[in-house]
């Protein structure tokens, strides 16, 4: 029966033996966004133009022995191809990250809009119930009008005009109360 090494356990997975490079995807994403932002600026276009013009000028003017890229400029074309090969994925990565941010922002906006709609509907229901409740409550003006009407109907009370209403008093009482009014005058 073969012996197991004491340091090796069967209940745990083996550690990988190959060399692995760990990288932070967030760092790569931020770096790609910076590069993509730079590639879309006028500064990049200016520097690229200066390098290309210098490259072509040096390869056309210099002595034959020092020319590193003769007329068809194959090396310059290779440099552009390499730049494009790296720039396109970096720009796509930056756009994907922006799409992810936009998606999260859109979801937050939708949730906020749903909450605002729910709050507005709740407030509209509360306002409608308050209007119904206020419509059933007697207002101050309604009570004042009803009390004045009842006071006018009672005999011997003063009306709003300040005259006493009620049965016609005798002449002696008329002389004591000059405000008496039987409603006939």
The Cβ of residue 75 has, within 10 Å, a number of other Cβ atoms equal to 13
Tens digits of residue pLDDT in 78-87: 999 999 998 8
φ and ψ of 158, to 5 deg: -85, 135
Torsion of CA 123, 125, 127, 128, to 10 degrees: 160
Distance of alpha carbon 150 from its chain centroid, rounded?
59
* Terminal-to-terminal C-alpha distance of the chain: 136
pTM above 0.75, yes or no: no
What distance in Å separates the CA atoms of residue 103 and residue 153, rounded to the nearest whole number?
74
Structure-model confidence comparison of residues 14 and 168, the more confident one: 14
């Amino acid at each position: 029966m073969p012996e197991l090494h004491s340091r090796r356990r069967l209940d745990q997975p083996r550690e990988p033996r190959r060399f692995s490079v760990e990288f932070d995807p967030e760092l790569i994403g931020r770096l790609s966004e910076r590069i993509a932002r730079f590639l879309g600026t006028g500064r990049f276009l200016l520097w690229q133009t200066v390098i290309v013009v210098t490259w072509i000028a040096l390869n056309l003017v210099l002595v034959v022995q020092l020319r590193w890229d003769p007329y068809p400029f194959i090396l310059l074309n290779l440099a552009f191809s390499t730049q494009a090969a790296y720039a396109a994925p970096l720009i796509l990565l930056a756009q994907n990250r922006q799409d992810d941010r936009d998606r999260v922002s859109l979801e937050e906006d939708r949730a906020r809009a749903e909450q605002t709609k729910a709050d507005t509907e709740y407030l509209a229901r509360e306002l409608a119930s308050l209007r119904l409740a206020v419509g059933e409550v007697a207002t101050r003006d309604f009570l004042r009008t009803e009390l004045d009407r009842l006071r006018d109907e009672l005999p011997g009370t003063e009306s709003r005009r300040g005259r006493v209403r009620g049965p016609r008093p005798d002449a002696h009482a008329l002389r004591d109360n000059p405000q008496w009014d039987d409603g006939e005058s």
